[in-house]
Structure 1
């Protein structure tokens, strides 16, 4: 018997399934791990800024803001307050709009 016949078929994903795949609920975030040591400080600042921008972009999409020009700095900052994140800088607000632009 060929080795390929012994391998179990992978479970279908949302895109390959004939019917919608049930999501595992309740959602639990991945366990946080410390960031790798020895990097320059700027790397950590940029990394955390990207994470914050992604969280804000997702929250804005959930609120119905789909176009970057709808996401003014005031809207992004009010969304940050809504989800419990410190108010973002102008640089982070720019990054949020960039993420929304390039995800299309």
Structure 2
């Protein structure tokens, strides 16, 4: 069997599809679900802090901040104001820099 026959057929694009192809918009928020019950309070605090830090890290990456040294607390808090998030604590700012560090 020729190698070309083993290749999967590419998905249709907007120009080759018979009908419009629906794309998932990355800017559309995911539907929120309730968090699992029965965990200790500290788990919920940490979980929400991680989510906030990820949102801030993504916003910083979108604005051109790629290095943790570029993301000082003031810049992270300014970004939080821009995207409509409550000002992060020092711990959350530290977590944002950790996400940027591991992004590289």
TM range (shorter): 0.7 to 0.9
TM norm structure 1: 0.76
Separation in structure 1 between the aligned mates of residue 10 and residue 31 of structure 2, nearest angstrom? 24
Q: What is the TM-score of this pair, normalised by structure 2?
A: 0.76
Aligned equivalent of 2:46: 46
Give the 5 Å matches for 1:1-80: 24=23, 26=25, 27-80=27-80
Could you tell me how far apart the structure 2 residues matched to 1:10 and 1:91 are?
48
CA separation of 1:67/1:11 partners in 2, compared to 1, >3 Å: closer, same or farther? Answer: same
RMSD of Structure 2 on Structure 1 (CA): 2.1
In the alignment, the residues of structure 2 paired with residue 28 and residue 87 of structure 1 have an alpha-carbon distance, to the nearest angstrom, of: 23
Unaligned runs of 5+ in 2: 1-7, 12-20
The total of aligned residue pairs comes to 87
How many angstroms apart in 1 are the aligned matches of 2:97 and 2:22? 29
Distance 1:63 1:70 in 2: 11
Specify every segment of 5 or more residues in structure 1 that has no aligned partner in the other structure, as ranges.
1-8, 13-21
Q: In 1, Cα distance between the equivalents of 2:97 and 2:57?
A: 8
**What is the CA–CA distance in structure 1 between the aligned matches of 2:79 and 2:65, rounded to whole Å?**
11
Q: Secondary structure at the match of 1:58?
A: helix
Show the counterpart of 2:99: 99
Whole-angstrom CA distance in 2 between matches of 1:28 and 1:71: 26
